[in-house]
Structures are given as C-alpha cells and as structure tokens.
C-alpha cells in the first residue's frame, strides 16, 4: 500500500479506479472510472486505440464515486464572512475553499449579501473564478444576494442598505462596478425596473435568481419569461404558499414557463430552515429542479461555544448557530454532505436523486453540466468517494486527491 500523496503531482498518469460503483447518466453503475490529465476518459479508446495499461490502479474498496458537490450559495465559513472580509479577501476565500474539501465540495459560489456599495467595489474584483486543487475547492463565480430585494422579506439583510433599480441597469453597475466575476444575481422581481435588469443580466450570461421577495406568481412568471431561471432558498424569505396565489413557490408547477426552460430552486436541507414535509413537497413537485444549498454563514466548521464573528457574538450549540445568550437563530452552519444525507432521509428519495441535487442540478443551474457535476467522458475529474452512509471518504479535483478521511481505505498498485 502506498500513500495517495504520491499521485498528487503527476496529472499525466493514467489512473484506473476499480472495485467501485459510479454515478453516471442518473444511475449507479458497477464499472471502473478512468482519469488522465484531469479529465474523465473513455476506457474503450485506451483499450482499442492506445492499447496501454493504467499507470496506477486504485482499489476503492467498494466505495461509490459521485461527482463532487457544488454549492451555489454559501456566505462564508470557518470564521470567514465573504461580505465582511475586506482586508484579506483572497486569504479568506482560500481558507473556506480548503475547509470545504472535507465535506466533498469541489466547486462553490462565494455569496455576498446586502452591503454598502463600497464593500462590493472592494471585494468583488478580488474574488476571481479559479480552478480547484490542493489549495481548495474551485470558485465558479460570485453569487450576489441583494441589495435589490424586498425590505418586507429582508431576513438577516440590513434594511438601510436595500436599494431599488431607480436608474435601471445603471443602478446595478453603480452598486457593484464590474460584474466579470459574478455568475448569479438574486433580486426581487416585483421591484420597479426589474424586467430590463433581468434581461440585461440574462444577456450577459449571469443567472438571475428570484428571492427575498413578496412577488406574486404572475410577477414570478414574467421574470422567468425575461430570463430568470432560479429561486433563492425556496420557502425562506418569500410569501408563503397560498391557494389563491402561490407566489414564487407556484413557479414549480406553473404552466406559463416556456417549454425549453427549467426552473431550478435552491433549498436548505439542514433540518432547521426547511421542515421535512416542505422538503417532500418540493421534491415530489419538481424533483429535476431541486438544488441543495447550504446558505452557510461564517460559523460553519467552528466548534461549539461562543465566537466573535464580525460585530456579533455567535454561540454554536447542538449544531445550530444563535446570537450569543439568546435563542435567535442567525443562519445555517450545516455542510453540504450533511444536507445530502438529511434530504435523502427526509424525502425518502433515491441515492441518485439526493446526489444529483448537489451535483448535476447545481451544474445545470449555472450551465456548466457538460464538464462539472457529471462523470461523463471529457468532464473534469472532480469527484468524491462515499461509503454506504454517504459519508465522504475522499475528495478529488482534476483527478488528484485533495482530501482523504482514512488513507488505509485505498490500495494502490503500479502497473508499469
């Protein structure tokens, strides 16, 4: 048995992952996974065209190989708040990206909440899209959540920073500056001038998400027709479902959605923000659109006790984050692999459905499912090994092991 570390710096070696099951084409298949140059490769070409053997065989001990998890909404973690970490932006991103590897996350969208414009101008240019690796999970782009939201559904967003589209799209560029690093934009569609803003964001290939909103169903449908394609943390920070006007929740079954479009929606399956019955309703109503998100705050990954995070003291007890010395919840601290397990248990869905809600579906949300969130030939070799309880055994990015829970689980043999 050899250390997996021996494989870290040699991307060109041909690796065969054997004694495993893999999630591909929406089913779990018993077959090997082949990787070279950071990509999933087709073994038929290896056998019949190149006629070569693998440089390394990795015995996975019967583990399940899934695409790596993708979190499209995470506000921070491990003591870092992306919206407050002004002086050490790059260092903060690296710290969170590294910490996420343990939880099977191979790519994520750092999320900035409602803030003053100077914060955006200082932070946004410094959160660059980048590939993952030993340094941490890849950055797919920034998810901007606010300040163009409804003050009636502001949640934890500071109301005095909430704004309207008073000058149309110019309000957007004045607020944020350059949008090159942005991949997703949460807004309330009922705000005046929202429609031309949605159209321009869509034209720039920035995914528009509807949330923190009091929009009715008609307003939601109008936004979708003009380019919106996602709903931010379904059920949270929006009008509750009502039988005469289901609001944004009604988009899950709307007959006004163009046939070529699919609405995806984020949902926080942490056992706190969304009741198990609500998870079941969402899953059974529109399973192909469901995307698991953490919406995690800076307290993610910290030990139980009281922590000074920014201007607030936060107490972590029994897996929940509270404002210190109160029973007021202040955000999610549940990591994505736990959300996957809770979602499966709460809904009774299949393993495939649970895993695709954190892999294929978020990749489709961002329009990157041809190379992320899948194990198809030619896709990036970003994947995780899971045991029968869906606990993460190891995390791999571009075919390199970047986290391992227990090295003795893997047996390597060189063939040349």
Is 237 known to sit in a ligand binding site?
yes
Measuring CA to CA, how many Å separate 185 from each of 305, 313, 328? Answer: 34, 29, 28
Alpha-carbon 4 to chain mean position: 27
Burial class (CB in 10 A: 0-12, 13-18, 19+), 409: middle
Q: Binding residue per annotation — 329? A: yes
> How would residue 2 be classed by pLDDT, with cut points 50, 70 and 90?
very low
pTM: 0.94
Domain topology for 4-67+374-414: Urease, subunit C; domain 1 (2.30.40)
Residue 365 is predicted with a pLDDT of 98
Question: Which CATH number is 69-366 given?
Answer: 3.20.20.140
Let me know: does 329 contact 155? Beta carbons within 8 Å.
no
Average pLDDT estimate for 283-292: 98
**Residues paired with 314 in a beta bridge:** 307, 323
> According to the model, what pLDDT value does residue 407 have?
57
How confident is residue 410, by pLDDT bands cut at 50, 70 and 90? low
Within 13 Å of residue 56, how many CA atoms lie on the same side as its CB? Answer: 24
For 324-354, the pLDDT digits (tens) are 888 767 778 999 999 999 999 999 999 999 9
Residues 154-183 as b/e (b if ≥16 CB within 10 A, e otherwise) read bbebeeebbbebeeebebbeebbeebebbb
Q: Is 330 annotated as a binding residue?
A: yes
3-state secondary structure of 145: strand
Weakest-pLDDT range from 45-59, 125-139, 343-357? 45-59
d(CA 117, CA 96): 24
From the list 71, 270, 295, 380, the catalytic residue is 295
Among residues 274, 269, 285, which one has the least CA distance to residue 336? 269
- CATH 3.20.20.140 residue ranges for the chain: 69-366
pLDDT of res. 358? 98
φ/ψ of 408, rounded to 5, equals: -70, -10
Q: 180-238, pLDDT tens digit by residue? A: 999 999 999 999 999 999 999 999 999 999 999 999 999 999 999 999 999 999 999 99
The predicted model gives 239-243 an average pLDDT of: 94
Residue 291 DSSP SS3: strand
How far from the centroid of its chain's Cα atoms is residue 179's Cα? 20
pLDDT bin (cut points 50, 70, 90) of residue 8 is very low
Annotation-wise, does 233 bind a ligand?
yes
Residue 132's pLDDT is what? 97
- Is the bond preceding 147 in cis, omega lying within 30 degrees of 0? yes
- Looking at residue 259, the DSSP 8-state letter turns out to be T
As a whole number, mean pLDDT of residues 285-301 equals 95
Q: Does residue 295 have an active-site annotation?
A: yes
Helix (H, G, I), strand (E, B) or coil at 265: strand
Which tens digits make up the pLDDT trace of 17-35? 999 999 999 999 999 999 9
Q: pLDDT tens digit string along 260-279?
A: 889 999 999 999 999 999 99
In whole angstroms, what is the distance from residue 194 CA to residue 164 CA? 9
In the chain, where does the domain assigned CATH 2.30.40.10 lie?
4-67+374-414
361 marked as part of a ligand binding site: no
Say yes or no to pLDDT of 11 above 90.
no
* Number of residues in the chain: 416
pLDDT, one tens digit per residue, over 351-381 is 999 999 999 999 999 999 999 999 999 999 9
């Amino acid at each position: 048995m050899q250390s997996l570390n021996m494989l870290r710096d040699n991307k060109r070696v041909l690796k065969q992952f054997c004694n495993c099951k893999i999630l591909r084409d929406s089913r779990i298949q018993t077959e090997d996974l082949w990787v070279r140059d950071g990509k999933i490769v087709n073994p038929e070409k290896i056998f019949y065209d190149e006629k070569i053997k693998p440089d390394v065989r990795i015995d996975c001990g019967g583990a399940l190989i899934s695409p790596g998890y993708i979190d499209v909404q995470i506000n921070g973690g491990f003591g870092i708040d992306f919206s407050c970490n002004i002086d050490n932006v790059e260092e903060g991103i690296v710290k969170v990206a590294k910490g996420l590897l343990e939880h099977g996350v191979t790519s994520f969208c750092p999320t900035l909440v409602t803030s003053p414009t100077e914060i955006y101008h200082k932070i946004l240019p410094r959160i660059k899209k980048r590939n993952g690796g030993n340094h941490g999970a890849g950055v797919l782009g920034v998810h901007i959540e606010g300040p163009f939201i409804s003050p009636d559904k502001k949640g934890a967003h500071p109301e005095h920073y909430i704004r309207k589209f008073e000058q149309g799209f110019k309000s957007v560029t004045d607020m944020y500056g350059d949008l090159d690093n942005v991949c997703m934009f949460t807004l309330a569609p009922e705000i005046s001038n929202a429609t031309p803003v949605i159209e321009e964001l869509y034209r720039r290939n920035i995914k528009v998400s509807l949330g923190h909103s009091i929009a009715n169903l008609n307003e939601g449908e109008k936004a979708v027709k003009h380019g919106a394609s996602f709903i931010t943390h379904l059920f949270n920070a929006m009008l509750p479902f009502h039988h005469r006007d289901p609001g944004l929740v009604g988009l899950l079954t709307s007959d006004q959605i163009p046939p070529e479009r699919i609405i995806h929606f984020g949902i926080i399956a942490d056992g706190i923000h969304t009741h198990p019955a609500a998870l079941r309703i969402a899953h059974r109503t529109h399973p192909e659109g469901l995307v698991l998100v953490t919406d995690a705050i800076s307290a993610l990954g910290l030990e139980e006790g009281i922590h000074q995070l920014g201007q607030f003291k936060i107490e972590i007890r029994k897996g929940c984050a509270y404002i210190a010395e109160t029973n007021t919840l202040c955000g999610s601290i549940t990591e994505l692999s736990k959300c996957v397990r809770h979602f499966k248990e709460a809904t009774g869905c299949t393993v495939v459905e649970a895993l695709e809600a954190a892999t294929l579906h978020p990749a489709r949300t961002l329009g990157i499912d041809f190379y992320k969130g899948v194990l198809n030939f030619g896709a990036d070799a970003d994947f995780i090994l899971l045991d029968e309880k869906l606990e993460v055994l190891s995390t791999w990015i571009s075919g390199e092991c970047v986290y391992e829970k227990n090295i003795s689980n893997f047996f390597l043999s060189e063939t040349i």
